[in-house]
Structure 1
Amino acid sequence: MSDTTEFANEKATPLGGFAPAKGSDAASFYDPTKESLMTRIGLTKESFKRAPGTTRGMVAHGDVPIEYLEHDNPGYQQTMKPRHLQMIAVAGTIGTGLFVGSGSALATGGPAGILIAWAVVGVMLMNVTQALGEMSIVYPVSGGFYTLASRMLDPAFAFSMGWNYLIQWAIILPLELTVANTTVQYWNTSLSQAEWITIFFVVILIAVLFGTIGFAEEEFWSSLLRIIVAVIFLIIGIVCICGGGPKSGDYNHYIGGSLWQSPGAFANGFKGVCSVFVTAAFSFSGTELVGLAAAETPNPRKTIPTAVKQTFWRVTMVYIVCLTIIGLAIPYDDPRLYNGTGASASPFVILMVKAGIHGIDHLVNVTILIAVLSIGLSAVYAGSRMLTAIAETGYAPSCFTYIDKAGRPLWSLVAICAFGPIAYVNCADVGGAVFDWLLALSGLSTLFTWLSITITHIRFRRAWKVQGHSVDELPYRAFGGVYGSYLGSFLIVLVVIAQFYTAVWPIGEQPHGAEAASTFFQTFLSLPILIAMWILGYLWKRTLPKRAKDIDLDTGRKSWLTAEEGRAYRAERAAAPLYVKIYRFLFA
């Protein structure tokens, strides 16, 4: 049956997918809404049974290769609401990178250095999210960008990138448990490290039990708290800079931009800015979760454009404005930026202490703690979805394709959660060194993932054109088009070069011998591992990249327009009033 004939026999559903064609076996489609509420949220014995068939009537189009069948018909429940999707990427980025990491970045790059770095990385992020949004609407498939990289680029490369991404999140889980323990020590509690790690691990496991909806609700409310605290900080910061702080504090007079004059705008010159580029890039890691979550939202065509746009504006603007206030209010040579640990090194806390405002530091520390646990939960979510996708393409044991009636990739969740107890290593003296090398295994994973997204988008656009399609058929087009992906790729490569530069010639006294080698490989170890796994993937499956005319553009395609419909749709939007156009450009 040709694609055109098959499309004509299908009926579009309000859920953004497609109902089975007339005469097909409707009984093979599983509707999770028929289950009890307790089963759907994972609180019954029945919820742990494997979900039969597919969900929401989403069917494959054209000839379906076996390795893509599960991606086209995911067993996940499409339970994420627009508000959930819009907050998921925000939750993964506005956290310790802003509340704590910005302090060390200020000390390294100075107030001008951090603004330059975050602005450039913000442009890079915009192009990555736009490319991801365009593809995720057309292909809301299990595994998201991993599956599309396997199809559009090369299965062996996708295998390498997917496992590297999986390892990254698997290591982040015990790391965040460790950071949570450090954060809570701000209150000088009597419980031991092991006891706090156990408590936090149990909290994450309970949240995991509730499946997708548990993750989505937690991310929404924790993100909202972080944004509220950031806004409170901005208001207090502006008042302090203008001299409106308490008389007993350091901000009882106008300081304006004096700190840009003394101690200065840049802390370590060009090298400092290069170092902050890397910090800025990693602070945005997690924005790509929107691509993984697309398979679990009922109407990607409606929700993903809003999520992509709001993610960029919220994350970038919150970072840029907060970093501006930090650079104006705190000198980069403040000793607390160097000597503090956990919340005590947070510029949010330092500003409150300098201003003589009591109590807010505890609110900031609570927010940091919630953010840390939220990122730990995101690690379980992202790692489990990626492991399931890798298994669906045959590069991991098939047991990891198991998805239960609550929409949980059950054995994948177990596998990722099994990394949690590694956090107890920190109870030993060698814990810090062990974690340094564990993190080195996937140190550049985020940048490789983003690069794969932009290159995949370039290949997608090429195949789309070669196979006779028009961009007018795309329900959503990336703001910069294919040129935006070229720019994004270029900026990502620049950040990797900056990482190499600062790894070989770090700030301060230059290391020698074994110390220099250790510093370099802790930064760049993931690159040779990525290449080795790429070679392994090729030797295993003997796959090669396909020519643009041979790339499969039908499997998993859930949303599209005819060229005429696309032009009519965009003509209608072009005729809207100016204020509506501005709103749509920014948010809808």
Structure 2
Amino acid sequence: MRKTFKARHLTMIALGGSIGTGLFLASGGAIASSGPGGALLAYTAVGIMVYFLMTSLGELATYLPDSGSFSTYGTRFVSPAFGFAIGWNFWYNWAVTIAAELSAATVIIKYWFPDSPSILWSLLFLLLMFGLNFLSARGYGESEYWFAIIKIITVIVFLTVGVLMIFGILGGKAVGFGNFQLGGSSFHGGFFAFVGVFMAAGFSFQGTELVGVAAGESENPRRNVPLAIRRVFWRILIFYIFAILVIGLLIPYTNPDLLRSGIDDIGVSPFTIVFNKAGLAIAASVMNAVILSSVLSAGNSGMYASTRVLYAMAKDGMAPRALGRLNRRGVPVGALLVTTAVGMLAFLASFFGDGAVYNWLLNASGMCGFINWLGIAVCHYRFRRAFVKQGHSLEELPYRARWFPFGPLFALVLCLIAVFGQNLGAFTGGSIDWYGILVSYISLPLFLLIWFGYRWFRKSRIVPLDQCDLSTHPE
């Protein structure tokens, strides 16, 4: 594959993958559910976990840059069965994300065109994503660069306006910390509410791992990947923490609009509420456009990432060989066509209601992201142990993750909490919500079925540490 991504592309791919509807919309519900203090704590905890995961992925991706990162690392450092399962899990996660984001886009566009058919917009947006990815990896990288720029500018403007309002320079008198300590505490809703916000925060940060896939097409991954990780993490954490702090200070967490913020009502996005308070009359239209660009960015990233991983699995014999072919521009067209076909699930939005289909797809794929993160932690832990076991010096690593082994183990524990706490509310009501359990947890038994099924069928076993393949050039 062609090496086309520069450091700026990797930086914006990671930034763009993590700043989106989770910040622009879900942050309002997080504050309403757990209070501003609970939301800050949850997002900070997830941010620390993501930091450790990013450094783990950085160590793997700089040593072995490969577009099939998750599948390749799982196969080499855990077992072929684990690599097979984690690869298909990653592909499914991002392929379904295409459909989910297209469904969301059809809802958002109806803000301006309420009577237009969903199927038309789904088709147009799908063709746009396909075209950007069909041109070349550079086409995806450039489009994602500008999508990310739009989101970053929006967040910076929001933070600037928010700070001016907090100190009374805009919007009247200074608000102080009254809303933050409403009711005598900045925490609200108890333990289960906090766990729910933790889940939402985890989903919001998903996408940062795409830099591992893009490393396989980077001009100089040993320089660009660590640079992107250092640039991205602190910016993301600052954006999220400061945004939630601003929202918590300016909007009481008892405001019912925060719970209603979603793709079907951009007018109650916490960003829109703050901009309206500042007297910006066109806030709703502007935020609608920004959120539309965010969901298209997420779908665009999903198409790129799932296509590359499917291509890599085909090269390794874990997917049909025909999907492992490149055209003259270095694009795996077969894998792209298959992934695009899955994206056509978004057309269901025209038949079953836009918001309902979006939420179902979102919930069904939500756990897959946490499983991917678990895979990163496990692969890095075993890679480092194998590296030392086989007599290598840590000085040989082009990028070394700090805090090993605490980092990957800490991330592993939090990911397990996220996986099993995905929908605790389904177990704690007056009766068990079996449908909610099915939607929330279906990805876990499917992953285990694929893992152990492949292990049984191919007689795959855990690779001993002294036999892990540490060659730096994928076969």
Bin of the TM-score, shorter chain as denominator length: over 0.9
2:471 equivalent among 513, 536, 554: 554
Are the aligned partners of 1:165 and 1:445 in contact in 2 as well (CA < 8 Å)? yes
Taking structure 1 as the reference length, what is the TM-score of the superposition? 0.77
Partner of 2:462: 545
3-state SS in 2 of match to 1:556: coil
2:11 equivalent among 81, 86, 93: 86
Distance 1:435 1:540 in 2: 35
1:512 equivalent among 421, 428, 431: 431
Partner of 1:9: none
How many Å apart are 1:347 and its aligned residue? Answer: 0.5
How many Å apart are 1:278 and its aligned residue? Answer: 0.4
Partner of 1:122: 47
More helix by share: 2
> 1:381-400 residue pairs with structure 2 within 5 A?
381-400=304-323
Partner of 1:562: none
Partner of 1:255: 175
How many Å apart are 1:384 and its aligned residue? Answer: 0.5
Report the residue type matching 2:174 in the other structure: Y
> 1:116-515 residue pairs with structure 2 within 5 A?
116-246=41-171, 252-263=172-183, 264-342=185-263, 343-429=266-352, 436-499=359-422, 501-505=424-428, 510=429, 512=431
Distance 1:146 1:511 in 2: 41
Distance 1:433 1:366 in 2: 22
Report the residue type matching 2:250 in the other structure: A
Report the residue type matching 2:465 in the other structure: A
1:489/1:437 CA distance change after superposition, 3 Å: same
Distance 2:156 2:355 in 1: 34
Report the residue type matching 2:90 in the other structure: Y
Partner of 1:108: 33
1:86/1:434 CA distance change after superposition, 3 Å: closer
Are the aligned partners of 1:274 and 1:502 in contact in 2 as well (CA < 8 Å)? no
Are the aligned partners of 1:503 and 1:520 in contact in 2 as well (CA < 8 Å)? yes
Partner of 1:524: 441
Are the aligned partners of 1:277 and 1:498 in contact in 2 as well (CA < 8 Å)? no
Can you list the C-alpha shifts for 1:218-257, whole angstroms capped at 9, x where unaligned? 11111111111101000111111222334xxxxx222111
Are the aligned partners of 1:132 and 1:145 in contact in 2 as well (CA < 8 Å)? no
Distance 1:542 1:483 in 2: 32
Distance 1:359 1:501 in 2: 39
Distance 1:357 1:365 in 2: 14
Distance 1:310 1:503 in 2: 39
In our comparison, the structure showing a higher alpha carbon Rg is: 1
Are the aligned partners of 1:141 and 1:295 in contact in 2 as well (CA < 8 Å)? yes
Report sequence identity in percent.
36
Report the residue type matching 1:361 in the other structure: A
How many Å apart are 1:378 and its aligned residue? Answer: 0.6
1:349/1:113 CA distance change after superposition, 3 Å: same
Report the residue type matching 1:493 in the other structure: L
1:444/1:328 CA distance change after superposition, 3 Å: same
Distance 1:451 1:429 in 2: 33
Are the aligned partners of 2:303 and 2:336 in contact in 1 as well (CA < 8 Å)? yes
Gaps of at least 5 residues in structure 1 are: 1-75, 247-251, 559-588
Can you list the C-alpha shifts for 1:353-372, whole angstroms capped at 9, x where unaligned? 23332123322221111111
Are the aligned partners of 1:443 and 1:525 in contact in 2 as well (CA < 8 Å)? no
Are the aligned partners of 1:447 and 1:492 in contact in 2 as well (CA < 8 Å)? yes
1:359/1:433 CA distance change after superposition, 3 Å: closer
Gaps of at least 5 residues in structure 2 are: none
3-state SS in 1 of match to 2:365: coil
Taking structure 2 as the reference length, what is the TM-score of the superposition? 0.95
Relative contact order, CA 8 A, sep 6+: which one is greater? Answer: 2
How many Å apart are 1:313 and its aligned residue? Answer: 1.1
How many aligned residue pairs are there? Answer: 472
Distance 1:504 1:389 in 2: 39
